[in-house]
Structure 1
Amino acid sequence: MSCRHYLVSGQVQGVFFRATAQETANALGLCGWVRNTGDDRVELVACGSEASLGELERWLRRGP
């Protein structure tokens, strides 16, 4: 199992990005946490298989 840390910027607060990112990670079988930061970003830590982490990263780059 691997873990990765992400900081996502752009239009990510006030648009349910955090909740959708958590749902996406859960659907991929990942564990970890997601939170809004004080500087208008979303921070994530996700742990799981390399394949699932890769899928999450592609989703984060693409957005909901």
Structure 2
Amino acid sequence: MAYIQRMTHSGLDLEKKGVHPKFGVVQVSELLSAWVVHDFTHMSQVVRVMAERYRTDVGPWSAYLGILNRK
């Protein structure tokens, strides 16, 4: 984060555009945002695996615990 903050404060142009082979024209801000959300996806995968350990321990409440019912 500190590195990205330094880049932002050093005048990184978040509106700068480039061409992606599949998406066409994209902005630096979009790429960085996608990177963050990609990492969130991995975090949710880790939490889901951790929660799975408690599936039998929670008994009938498992039906109401969304994290145990997502694939």
TM-score > 0.5, shorter chain as reference: no
Q: Which protein is bigger by CA-based radius of gyration? A: 2
Structure with more contact order per residue of length (Cα contacts < 8 Å, sep ≥ 6): 1
The TM tier, using the shorter chain, reads: under 0.3
TM-score, structure 2 normalization: 0.23
Higher share in helix:
2
Higher share in strand:
1
